[in-house]
């Protein structure tokens, strides 16, 4: 494939951007080579600046559940922009997006819109601490909740990709307020509560881990966390920035039948524009300013372009059969790759929930980050490059999720599986 313009832009980017990128995982360090530069997207396909086309399974890391440049979303943003890009005072669209979120996620009675998933998680934790009057939080190894101080402790995502266990710049005393446990290990979390229950404000968890690859909760695990937090007066926060509207229309909490105290959201609710949200029962949410004493603010929160895109996306996604098509596409892809892996004798473990999933070069099962970390990352890098050469863009890291959209057709899936068969044969 041609790469002349992308290579030129990559050299220019490294002169003015740190590492040439504005988010670490875009740099392709885990898979080798340099990233291509996107020029446009339509449906399930990205076109780069050199004119190469790729079937896209990254989808801007999850938000584009309808694919690129979906006409109704484009039109909604255009209409909103013509009226003004930002006001700093309330707009009706903020209400309508909050109503739609509440309709789809019954655990939420009130919403606060913010600008990113990171902002949502750090704000939800502040609210949990303010509500309970406690300082400690519990998170899980490999779960990534954004780059806020105190959350970059045994996190996944780019930290896992780059092999960084934590981040300099975070005071040790602050990091000590974060307790960690392996995912799917009930004995470990019970031991933490036995030692610290009176000081634990909340558990924050990706109910489906999406930033160490995709790792599913074992049966009964999430319910046990729900029971434990209730028993000790701590809050349970579901970070559904990734799994919201991906694991199910009502998120992982709907799929697994669990009611968290607080939920954080992002990605899909912005339809590709920067957005985040957190919500829960009014009795908790009303501790936020201006009603309560817990302060959190944002100049661009509830931005009219983001709310327009989010509303248009959710309107389409909730039409009969739309969500199901995204899940079915990934199911067909997973089954096809499973057959190819058997044909070639290459050990793999595939995970899927809804329209998010992961292919691990590991015989499995994978229950937690420590097991995911045993995957053959070198083989994944070769797989990634082979697929990219054949016009298929997958997550540039073994430890990231891939996604499908309503735009992925049978033709896209067939082309992807044809490419995968060729690459697996080379890997065998």
Catalytically active residues, by annotation:
144, 239, 267
Q: What distance in Å separates the CA atoms of residue 370 and residue 145, rounded to the nearest whole number? A: 18
Q: Which of 303, 124, 108, 111 is nearest to 205 (CA)?
A: 124
Q: How far is CA 98 from CA 114, 122, 238, 310, in A?
A: 12, 19, 18, 10
Cβ-based neighbour number of residue 111 at 10 Å: 24
Q: What distance in Å separates the CA atoms of residue 423 and residue 361, rounded to the nearest whole number? A: 13
Q: Residue 150 phi/psi, 5° resolution? A: 90, -15
Residue 169 corresponds to which tokens in the numbers above?
């710049």
Q: What is the C-alpha end-to-end distance of the chain, expressed in Å? A: 24
- Planar angle of CA 114, 115, 117, nearest 5 degrees: 90
DSSP-derived secondary structure for 27-77: G-TTT-S----EEEEEBTEEEETTS-EEEESSGGGTT-TT-BT-HHHHHHH
Q: Which of 3, 49, 63 is nearest to 246 (CA)?
A: 63
Q: How far is CA 160 from CA 12, 18, 29, 167, in A?
A: 27, 19, 12, 12
Is the Cα dihedral 222, 158, 243, 379 positive or negative? Answer: negative
Q: What distance in Å separates the CA atoms of residue 19 and residue 253, rounded to the nearest whole number? A: 37
Q: How far is CA 102 from CA 76, 190, 272, 275, in A?
A: 21, 32, 20, 16
Q: What distance in Å separates the CA atoms of residue 73 and residue 82, rounded to the nearest whole number? A: 14
CA 253 to mean position of chain CA atoms: 15
3-state helix, strand, coil in the chain (%, to 5): 45, 15, 40
């Amino acid at each position: 494939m041609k790469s002349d313009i992308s290579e030129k832009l990559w050299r220019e980017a490294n002169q003015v951007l740190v590492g040439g990128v504005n988010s670490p995982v875009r740099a392709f360090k885990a898979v080798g080579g340099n990233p291509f530069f996107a020029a446009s997207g339509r449906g399930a396909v990205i076109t780069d600046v050199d004119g190469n086309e790729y079937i896209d399974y990254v989808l801007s890391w999850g938000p584009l559940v309808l694919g690129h440049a979906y006409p109704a979303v484009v039109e909604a943003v255009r209409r909103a922009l013509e009226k003004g890009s930002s006001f700093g005072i309330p707009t009706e669209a903020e209400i309508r997006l909050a109503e739609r979120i509440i309709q789809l996620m019954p655990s939420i009675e009130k919403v606060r819109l913010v600008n990113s998933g990171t902002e949502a998680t750090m704000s939800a934790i502040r609210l949990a601490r303010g509500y309970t009057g406690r300082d400690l939080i519990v998170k899980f190894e490999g779960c990534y909740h954004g780059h806020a101080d105190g959350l970059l402790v045994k996190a996944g995502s780019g930290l896992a990709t780059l092999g960084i266990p934590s981040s300099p710049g975070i005071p040790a005393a602050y990091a000590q307020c974060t307790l960690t446990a392996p995912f799917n290990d009930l004995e470990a979390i019970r031991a933490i509560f036995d030692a610290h229950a009176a000081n634990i404000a909340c558990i924050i968890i990706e109910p489906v881990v999406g930033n160490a690859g995709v790792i599913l909760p074992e049966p009964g695990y999430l319910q046990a966390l729900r029971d434990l937090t209730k028993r000790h007066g701590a809050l349970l926060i579901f970070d559904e920035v990734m799994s919201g509207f991906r694991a199910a229309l009502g998120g992982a909490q709907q799929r697994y039948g669990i009611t968290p105290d607080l939920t954080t959201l992002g990605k899909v609710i912005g339809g590709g524009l920067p957005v985040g949200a957190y919500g829960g029962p009014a009795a908790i949410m009303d501790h936020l300013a201006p009603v309560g004493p817990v302060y959190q603010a944002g100049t661009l929160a509830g931005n009219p372009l983001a709310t327009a895109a989010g509303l248009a996306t959710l309107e389409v996604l909730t039409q009969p059969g739309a969500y199901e098509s995204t899940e079915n596409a990934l199911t067909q892809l997973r089954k096809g790759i499973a057959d190819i892996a058997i044909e070639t004798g290459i050990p793999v473990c595939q995970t899927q929930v809804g329209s998010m999933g992961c292919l691990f070069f590991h015989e499995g099962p994978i229950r937690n980050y420590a097991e995911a970390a045993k995957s053959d990352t070198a083989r994944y890098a070769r797989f990634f490059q082979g697929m990219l050469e054949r016009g298929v863009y997958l997550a540039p890291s073994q430890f990231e999720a891939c996604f499908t959209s309503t735009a992925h057709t049978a033709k896209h899936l067939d082309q992807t599986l044809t490419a995968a068969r060729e690459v697996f044969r080379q890997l065998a």
